[in-house]
Homo-oligomer: A and B are copies of this chain.
Amino acid sequence: MKQVTINDVAKAAGVSRQTVSRAMNDKGEISEETKERVLTAVRELGYRPNRMAQSMVTRRTGTVGLVFSDILNPFFPEVARGVQDVAREQEYNVFLCNTDDDPKVETQILQSLVAQGVDGIIILGSCLGAKALLEFADTYHPIIMTNRFVNHPNINQLIVDNIRGGALAAEHFIQQGHTQVGIITNENISYSRVRRVQGFFNTLLQHNLPCDESVIATGAPTLAGGYAAAKHLLTHQPQLTALFAYNDLMALGAMRACRDMGLDIPEHVSIIGFDDIHLTSIVSPSLSSVRVDKYMIGTKAMTRLLEMVARPDTIFPWQEMPVELVLRESTCLTFS
């Protein structure tokens, strides 16, 4: 129950604390012989340095914070797994926090993580305004952020090519001959700021297709939210033959809404989602979606975070993640 301290090891090995420290952090300045002796004692006593004590002097905690809206959205566990795997390699531990897309909660969480002394913070899709983010960045370094264009030396951006993702979806609909298409998006974010919706919307406009606010419905970025939004939209705009959803969960909710309304997919309504979570290929009909490599987002974010920790004065370039349209049964029967 009692913790083994560096003093115990020092005593056991017949050396000073400092020597033990040197042996553990092998920075040289120690003979192989004594190092061996110390490490043996370490093993025998099962000594592990107390991270808090280390942190007091090194100013490093070996922890990072990963912030996102909701762990129940399968998108985030996939990213988290990437973050965690890189973290584990470097003996880092990761705090996972849900904001529920609530700015107040997010602010509180960020403060809590800072007080906790995390070495860095990764925010996946912040719901804070640019002003609040810049203000926060003034007090903290380093921050990794996805899909936000907030320019600050303490923030490194990881941008998914959402505009292109939306455009790919729109182009496919157009190519398939759809002329009446709707959008289901996240009610927590003004859709003019949602780049995947922008890309979709603008592509429609470029092809002179009718597209205005009347064919945009919003809801929570969840199954239930997508269900409600789709039901509302398809009830008021029955002419629609294609739907583009903010994410796969909303798309899946929309699929169910269609089923409940007696609309077949893709015969009556085609649907394209976003993110390409595992679920897309499990459901029937399977869901077409704009794929993003979620695991890689995680590994890239964490890797970059560690680089920034190691070199606090360097300003790193932002990174871009490509997207890819994956066609399945919800848009085209000839694909699987």
Contact = CB atoms under 8 A, between A and B. Distances in A.
Interface of A: 1, 46, 48-53, 55-56, 61-63, 65, 70-72, 74, 77-78, 80-81, 84-85, 88, 91, 93-98, 109, 111-117, 138-141, 223, 252, 256, 278-279, 282-284
Give how many copies assemble into the complex. Answer: 2
B223 A278 contact: yes
Given A117-B50, A284-B284, A71 B81 contact: yes
A116 B51 contact: yes
A311 to B, nearest CB: 16
A235 to B, nearest CB: 22
B63 A72 contact: no
Given A279-B279, A279-B282, A282-B252, A114 B48 contact: yes
A51 B98 contact: no
Contacts of A139: 1, 46
B71 A80 contact: yes
Which 8 pairs of residues, A with B, have the shortest CB-CB distance? A48-B115, A284-B284, A71-B77, A52-B55, A96-B96, A93-B95, A52-B52, A51-B116
Given A97-B93, A116-B93, A223-B282, A81 B77 contact: no
Nearest to A114: B48
A297 to B, nearest CB: 14
B72 A77 contact: yes
A115 B51 contact: yes
Given A95-B94, A97-B93, A112-B91, A53 B51 contact: no
6 contacts: A52-B55, A53-B56, A74-B77, A80-B96, A94-B97, A95-B95
A307 to B, nearest CB: 19
Contacts of A78: 72
Contacts of A140: 1
A131 to B, nearest CB: 16
Contacts of A95: 63, 93-96
B52 A117 contact: yes
Contact of A111 (B48, B80, B117, B279): B48
Contacts of A48: 111, 114-115
Contacts of A80: 71, 96
Contact of A81 (B1, B72, B112, B114): B72
A114 B63 CA distance: 13
Contacts of A114: 48
A112 B48 CA distance: 8
Contacts of A141: 1
A110 B78 CA distance: 23
Nearest to A259: B284
Contacts of A284: 283-284
Given A53-B56, A56-B56, A94-B95, 11 more contacts: A63-B116, A77-B77, A84-B96, A84-B97, A93-B112, A93-B116, A94-B97, A95-B95, A95-B96, A279-B279, A279-B282
